[in-house]
Chains A and B, each alone.
Chain A
């Protein structure tokens, strides 16, 4: 009981220093998936509505999403030991 409560408290305030990179990786992967899927869906919608079901708008949307996620995670890695702050997640 005491152990769990203490760990919970520690977790709430700040991640443990050795788990810092792992967390960053978690965030990066999840944002990558979400943003690329969002871009893909936008691209599909555009292709259906405007581009007569061409393939390339879907690819472009996917690229947009993936690129955005990449950039974000890159920035978070570069920032060092500061905890991740994601607008989408929190």
Chain B
């Protein structure tokens, strides 16, 4: 399912891609004309030139194509050369047009943005010139007077033939004719110059529009000034005019340096008229007219001067007023500021004073606290000292009292303890006596049990009694410890029993008396048989042989010397010793017990003796 749904999709996807590639290629190769031709055939309609299909990257190219198509269709092949020239021309035309557009656009952009301006002027040929030209044009459009002013500045010294006196302070302002005007209008001169100067300063500081306005104003002022000057000149010329009438020559007005262009022109025309009229001798009426006109002009001038003067005065007064106002405001402001500062200063001082006061207070408090603390400490110390002294005194008193009266008590107690000791000593003596007696009784009991017994019997109880009565006597303890535990647990045989057993042992030992060291069964049998036929010795025989030792031991036993008998039997060797081992052990135990009992008895006796 999926595959079937995808498969056509894939075809659809792949188909336009495949188509687009050749179509692009064709359009690039200029074969779009062929395509359009096909469309033309299919639609039977002249192809619309501006079809913004996705394939045509350049719409401009599609515009001329139909024309070429038509030309191609119409003349087919005949003129290849004209077509070429036409193409070349078209190419040129497009080149020029595109470059023109490009330059125009880039100049526009350069005028708009600084970055592009830099780029354009640096990298594009003739870019800088173009931009400069347009900038200049713009500048002139903005300031149309700029060029004229420069002209005037250049032209002014040319026109004036005579020497120009430059006053000492000229150059600071534009007004060159300051002194001249000062001579004429002594009052208004400096004010005017100052006013003009103000205007100039304003122009320097202000924006171009304002500057223009200022310049115009300055010009007007100047014009008025010039008119005044012109006025003055005819007035001054009035005196020599009378003779000039006779000579019928009217003096020419002379233009001054720094005059306005209009005034110059006016003067020029007037001069021309004067020259014309003076040249004409017979036009007296015209002369008069002219003179009248001059008078009129002078009257107008005076009026104008008066009006100007008034205006100036008014302006002066307003200016003064405003200046005063300014000064007043300034002073007010200063006063307020001063007041404010004073206030602030007072506040600050108050604050500082408060802070210092606080600090001083705290320090004083601290010092007081410290002093109080110290005083308290001293007080406490004194109290402690007094207490100690008091205790010392009390102690001393008590001691003295004790030594005085209570010393007798000590003596009494000493005597009492002595007495106690004595009594205890006596009781001790009695106790020890009793103990020794009891001990002796216990030891006697042990002995009696041992001697009376028919068969070996344990005597643990008796021994325990002895031990208790001995009451940790080291000697008794050691004596009891020396007894083999088996002895008092199983009991010890009596002397008769030992002798009896010795008889049995002796017969056995005699049987094994002839055995060599490492004997087998044959030698044992031989010894058994041969021991039967051996002779028995009599009396107290000497020698180390088994028979003699046995006889001696028997004798000793009969005499009651058990320890000596044991010593004799200990001298046996080999099989004889092995056979008599148990008997020897018994004998040793008996001996141990006997010795221990003897020791205990002697100890008891010794204690009795020691007590007394």
Q: CB within 8 Å of B: which residues of A?
A: 2-3, 6, 16-22, 24-25, 28, 70, 73-74, 77-78, 80-81
Binary interface profile of B, 503-542, with partner A (CB < 8 Å = 1, else 0)? 0110011011000001111101000000000000000000
Determine if A78 and B578 form an interchain contact, defined as CB atoms under 8 angstroms apart.
no
Please measure, in the bound complex, the distance between the C-alpha atom of A77 and the C-alpha atom of B515, giving whole angstroms: 11
Residue with the greatest number of chain B CB neighbours at <10 A, chosen from A21, A73, A78:
A21
Q: Is B57 located at the chain interface by the 8 A CB criterion?
A: no
Determine if B583 and A18 form an interchain contact, defined as CB atoms under 8 angstroms apart.
yes
Shortest distance from the beta carbon of A30 to any chain B beta carbon, whole Å: 13
Contacts of A6 in B (CB 8 A): 456, 490
Determine if A21 and B582 form an interchain contact, defined as CB atoms under 8 angstroms apart.
no
Contacts of A18 in B (CB 8 A): 504-505, 508-509, 579-580, 582-583
Contacts of B268 in A (CB 8 A): none
Shortest distance from the beta carbon of B553 to any chain A beta carbon, whole Å: 14
Please measure, in the bound complex, the distance between the C-alpha atom of A19 and the C-alpha atom of B501, giving whole angstroms: 12
Contacts of A19 in B (CB 8 A): 508
Determine if A78 and B582 form an interchain contact, defined as CB atoms under 8 angstroms apart.
no
Determine if B521 and A74 form an interchain contact, defined as CB atoms under 8 angstroms apart.
yes
Contacts of B232 in A (CB 8 A): none
Contacts of A80 in B (CB 8 A): 575, 578
Contacts of B456 in A (CB 8 A): 6
CB-nearest residue of chain A relative to B502?
A18
Contacts of A78 in B (CB 8 A): 518-520
Contacts of B580 in A (CB 8 A): 17-18
Determine if A21 and B575 form an interchain contact, defined as CB atoms under 8 angstroms apart.
yes
* 26 A-B residue pairings within 8 Å (CB atoms): A2-B457, A3-B455, A6-B456, A16-B582, A17-B578, A17-B579, A17-B580, A17-B582, A17-B583, A18-B509, A18-B580, A18-B582, A18-B583, A21-B512, A21-B575, A25-B524, A74-B521, A74-B522, A77-B520, A77-B521, A78-B518, A78-B519, A80-B575, A80-B578, A81-B578, A81-B581
What is the total of A-B residue contacts with beta carbons within 8 Å? Answer: 50
Please measure, in the bound complex, the distance between the C-alpha atom of A3 and the C-alpha atom of B458, giving whole angstroms: 12
CB-nearest residue of chain A relative to B518?
A78
Please measure, in the bound complex, the distance between the C-alpha atom of A10 and the C-alpha atom of B583, giving whole angstroms: 13
Determine if A22 and B508 form an interchain contact, defined as CB atoms under 8 angstroms apart.
yes
Shortest distance from the beta carbon of B2 to any chain A beta carbon, whole Å: 94
Contacts of A70 in B (CB 8 A): 521
- Contacts A2-B457, A6-B456 hold; do A20 and B520 have CB atoms under 8 A apart? no
Determine if A77 and B583 form an interchain contact, defined as CB atoms under 8 angstroms apart.
no
Determine if A21 and B519 form an interchain contact, defined as CB atoms under 8 angstroms apart.
no
Determine if A17 and B581 form an interchain contact, defined as CB atoms under 8 angstroms apart.
yes
Contacts of A81 in B (CB 8 A): 578, 581
Shortest distance from the beta carbon of B604 to any chain A beta carbon, whole Å: 31
Contacts of B511 in A (CB 8 A): 21
Extra A-B contacts (17), CB below 8 Å, given A18-B505, A80-B575 = A2-B455, A17-B579, A20-B579, A21-B508, A21-B511, A22-B508, A24-B524, A70-B521, A73-B521, A74-B520, A74-B521, A74-B522, A77-B524, A78-B519, A78-B520, A81-B578, A81-B581
